A and B are shown apart, each in its own frame.
Chain A
């Protein structure tokens, strides 16, 4: 059975603060919340539109150079985005692909953008990113409580 809530984080764990998305999602996964499915990937791609099917709500999580520290949260809606290569896809474009594939609007989606500063290959999280991750994790826990999730299992 499809979990009603999807938390989807993306980024390269080997590139410093780019790991913020996957790390936050791994932290949520460790909570073992039955209503929540946690997925990660290196990059957002068109097939991820299929992961939105059957959800009540979706939280996308990514590292961001531009987001204000420690993080920002905003609802996202389907939209076209221009790309120069096959290595990037905006979450808004994934939502648009969902509409056309399923012929109905996607579930409500939000984007949690955690501020990162250093993206060097082979480095760990920067000190600032660690702090931002901790604060963002608390926000996610509260957000999940608001969705009716049973958070008491291992939190």
Chain B
């Protein structure tokens, strides 16, 4: 993993450029740099453009921030809503009331549930059920529907259930305002609680079925699932004080590649003592790394479901914990280190979210009315949560006029930046023949990227944009080969 950026003469490398997708600005691409033997030496994924987020926030009154940051992502706005709220809790010096914390947790579990359901049923399942080399026109949700309508129906309804939780806790279907500095502005109404509780058992059942799908795929194709896009990495996530999986709060736990603990229960309020953010001249994205281990090229790490499920001491709900044990035992632990293990871990987390939702719905605090706490005003606030894709950090400084004067965000996809590069390089080394871009190469790189489900900044609605384009450029800058996937999924060599 340590030689991603260590080519001694990068000017002599041939470049393969893969241009995805429907970004309006800062469009993404994958660059593969080949050595003189036409082996893939470097992989660079440029898929997100987070430049400008901090400036977007600076100058705003702090109480506006939990609402406005939802505009950073249309897929996981609740994650930004809650991370910003946690930071602003510190600004107002508040310790949350039981009702406020449980409503926020309910909102967050709803978010995890709907996001993981969308990813698995809409994005990942077609890859897994049809095979990575299947026709792209078939290998999508529509093809999946044709094969098994029941799967898709459950996926849609799981996501809808999560969205309903968000609507009821955040107050609105889009741009909710439920979480505020120091607490929440609403709890559940009794009829809302009853409505959600009614479906909660079925949601748990469907989540268990989803685990069964991915588990059987692993068992049937163990070598492929174990080895595909394989790389070793350090890892980072939040854990609860007792070591349990916790999406909402806790301390940072980092493990080295060999599984030994680098630090544990690290105070998130001083995350910068654990994580350094590097920059590269070829990308707008930041390159975070573990301070104690060295530099960005050697000390990057992986976050997200695979890390969380493998790195916690236990999951505090019974069904998900049982599934975690089985996951960890599969192939002597190989599944929990496999890139495709993201899918299995994601479904275990979905089951945990479903169980935790049911538990909270039985807790009378969620209909309580003690919603907001106050305390002594502070200048600095740090909010860290585990978002669906991984650790999310919001950090703000606020002046005496209540304006945000500095903001720093490290989003999950940024944490996984180098890990995604490593996965792509692993795939490219296996499937690139050194001569031309093939549809098979394209397919497999897409599958690797989808394991992480990188977050795209939201302005993705330019209709008819080209979703994927690849180009090989020689060392002298000459284009040697070019291929594309059009918006209907067809592979073409223009």
Contact-size category for B: 35 or more
B140 A15 Cβ-Cβ under 8 A: no
B156 A85 Cβ-Cβ under 8 A: no
Pick from A82, A86, A97 the residue with the most CB of B within 10 Å.
A82
B460 A43 Cβ-Cβ under 8 A: yes
Residues of B contacting A66 with CB < 8 Å? 462-465
Q: Does B38 contact A (CB under 8 A)?
A: no
Q: Does B461 contact A (CB under 8 A)?
A: yes
Given contacts A42-B174, A50-B156, A96-B145, contact A85 B458 (CB under 8 A): no
* CB closest chain-B residue, reference A11: B461
B136 A122 Cβ-Cβ under 8 A: no
Given contacts A42-B77, A50-B156, A120-B25, contact A80 B462 (CB under 8 A): no
Residues of A contacting B53 with CB < 8 Å? 121
* CB closest chain-A residue, reference B164: A47
- Compute how far the CA of A97 lies from the CA of B151 in the bound complex, rounded to whole angstroms: 12
B489 A21 Cβ-Cβ under 8 A: no
Residues of A contacting B77 with CB < 8 Å? 42
Given contacts A63-B462, A83-B140, contact A100 B71 (CB under 8 A): no
Q: Does B153 contact A (CB under 8 A)?
A: yes
Q: Does B410 contact A (CB under 8 A)?
A: no
B75 A87 Cβ-Cβ under 8 A: yes
Residues of A contacting B118 with CB < 8 Å? 45-46, 86
Residues of B contacting A63 with CB < 8 Å? 461-462
Residues of B contacting A113 with CB < 8 Å? 463
Contact partner, A100, options B152, B457, B459, B468, Cβ 8 Å: B152
- Compute how far the CA of A116 lies from the CA of B460 in the bound complex, rounded to whole angstroms: 12
B185-193, B247-255, B262-270, B447-455 - interface stretch: B447-455
Smallest distance from the beta carbon of A48 to chain B beta carbons, Å? 10
B149 A101 Cβ-Cβ under 8 A: yes
B142 A12 Cβ-Cβ under 8 A: no
- Compute how far the CA of A70 lies from the CA of B488 in the bound complex, rounded to whole angstroms: 25
Residues of A contacting B145 with CB < 8 Å? 96-97, 99-100
Q: Does A1 contact B (CB under 8 A)?
A: no
B450 A18 Cβ-Cβ under 8 A: no
Smallest distance from the beta carbon of A85 to chain B beta carbons, Å? 6
Return the 9 tightest CB-CB contacts between A and B, nearest first. A42-B74, A82-B489, A80-B142, A14-B71, A100-B145, A15-B459, A119-B24, A65-B462, A12-B458
Q: List 5 A-B contacts (CB under 8 A).
A: A84-B20, A84-B446, A88-B22, A90-B463, A97-B141
Q: Which residues of B contact A (CB under 8 A)?
A: 20-22, 24-25, 52-53, 55-56, 68, 71, 74-75, 77, 115, 118-119, 121-123, 136-143, 145-146, 149, 152-153, 155-156, 159-160, 163, 173-174, 446, 449-450, 453-465, 467-468, 485, 487-489
